Amino acid sequence: MNPKQIGVILVLAGILIAVQLGMTFQKKARTIDVEVEKARAEEKSLETQLGVEKELLADLQRQSADLLAFVAKWKPYFALMSEQQSAETGISMIVREQAMLTLSQRYEQVPHKINNKDIDALPLLMRATLLFDDNYTKLLNWIGNMEKIKPTMRIGRLALSKGSRGDDLRMELVLEVPLRKEEPAKKP
């Protein structure tokens, strides 16, 4: 191969390199274009998703507003789990104050379950099983008074039968006081 031919090959190689370089620049630009398109599509889909999520949240807030307002009024009347002792003594004190003829009283804490499922918001019940033998009016006034003082307390069982004396009644009463889980401290 003579020098002229070598020179031609070198120049042809230069042409090839220049064209290749130009094509590489163009390819790189096209790759970035594709990435931009992908990013634009992702942004659009995320904006749609954001809109849907905002709408769902607003719907949920609208639907639950009444429920939450109702419960907010009742929340302060629920005893907290840390107050289980005072819930117990609260009942026994009212029994003592009214000088009821009490045959027996038992207090226990039981897990609150419905259909074998734990109730997370009210995990414990303070259950008082009381047995009275006293005057009819006094007994029923006492129940009414208890339901007034503790509006979240409920009667689990009530059994009335003849008492030991003339007008007296024997009343077996199961009272249940729910204990609410403490709310986690909110971050400042």
Partner 1 sequence: MLVPDTAIDDFKTDRKDIAPPLPMIMRLVPLLFYLALLFLAVVGSLASMHAKLASDHRNSLLGRIEELKKEIEGIKTEKTALEKEIQEATDLEAWVLASIPLQPLVVSIIDSMGPQSEIVDFTLERDAETPSQLRIGLKLNTISDKQIEQSLEVIRGLNYREFNPTQTRIQGNLDYKASLLWQDPLANRQTPEGRRAQTGVTP
Euclidean distance between CA atoms 127 and 153, whole angstroms: 10
The least CB distance from residue 161 to partner 1, in Å, is: 5
Q: Which residues ranging from 27 to 86 are in contact with partner 1 (CB under 8 A)?
A: 28-29, 32-33, 35-36, 39-40, 42-43, 46-47, 49-50, 53-54, 56-57, 60-61, 64, 66-68, 70-71, 73-75, 77-78
Phi, psi (deg, nearest 5) at residue 30: -65, -40
Q: Which of 82, 144, 164, 167 binds partner 1 (CB under 8 A)?
A: 144
The sign of the CA dihedral 93, 142, 129, 132 is positive
The least CB distance from residue 126 to partner 1, in Å, is: 13
For 85, residues 6+ apart whose C-beta sits below 8 A from its C-beta are: none
The region of 11-19, 88-96, 97-105, 126-134 touching partner 1 under the rule CB under 8 A is 11-19
The region of 84-92, 94-102, 126-134, 152-160 touching partner 1 under the rule CB under 8 A is 152-160
Helices (H), 75-171: 84-97, 136-149
Q: Is 3 in the site for partner 1 (CB under 8 A)?
A: yes
Nearest C-alpha neighbor of 125 from the set 80, 83, 177: 177
The region of 80-88, 96-104, 112-120, 126-134 touching partner 1 under the rule CB under 8 A is 112-120
Euclidean distance between CA atoms 153 and 12, whole angstroms: 97
Residue 128 CB neighbour total at 10 angstroms: 23
Q: Is 168 in the site for partner 1 (CB under 8 A)?
A: no
